Structure 1
Amino acid sequence: MTERAEVSPWPFVGMAGMACAFFLYGASVLFAPWWVVVLLVLVWVALFVVARAWWTPRPRWVPGVAVVALLVWVGVVALLSAG
């Protein structure tokens, strides 16, 4: 019998956070100019690529990528509401 490696739950947590961020980025179309939404989605895609790349080598860092995605969205919304 072969032993199975223990599966870390952190990448799954991070990808759930990325899914939440994606819905926030998409909902930005309700109040943000279209070009801001396009830039947000491009940032999300880049962060998603990083999260996928870190799935196996750095599983505990994937939730951090989701946190960064949420902080980027909050920062953009704050800038839009201030201007």
Structure 2
Amino acid sequence: MVLSRRRRVRRVVIDPATGRTISPWPFVGLVLVVSSFFLYAASGLLAPAWAVVVLLLTWLAMLVLCFVWWTPHPRRVVVVGVVSFVWWFVAITAGGVLLDWTA
């Protein structure tokens, strides 16, 4: 059959400047970290001002970590993106329960 002879084409994007393959994982991780910013910015509705400042500083540290790990560890950037959501949830929940933050 003719269809059985079709060759599979790998969809690999190669950087023309360096000749290396470009991984999609850092882009996915950066999208996750940037999308979590809205949770951190809106935390003022749930947390006191000092806690919002601390949360925004931790978000900024995660953003910088994304750019530091962009090329050497592209899959770790996705982990940082997931951790950004988990950290926000844990921090807001723990502050509400343990420190009695009220809206």
TM-score by length of 2: 0.73
* 1:2 to 1:61, Cα distance in 2 relative to 1, 3 A: closer
Higher helix fraction: Structure 1 or Structure 2? 1
Structure 1: which 5+ runs fail to align? none
Per-residue deviation, residues 23-75 of structure 1 (Å, max 9, x unmatched): 11001111211111000000011111111100000001101011111111011
Does the alignment pair 1:42 with 2:28? Answer: no
The runs of 4+ residues in structure 1 deviating greater than 4 Å are none
1:59 corresponds, among 66, 70, 74, to 74
Counterpart for residue 23 of structure 1:
38
Structure number with larger C-alpha Rg: 2
Q: How many residues align?
A: 83
Greater RCO (Cα-Cα under 8 Å, separation 6 or more) = 1
With normalisation by structure 1, the TM-score equals 0.89
Unpaired runs of at least 5, structure 2: 1-15
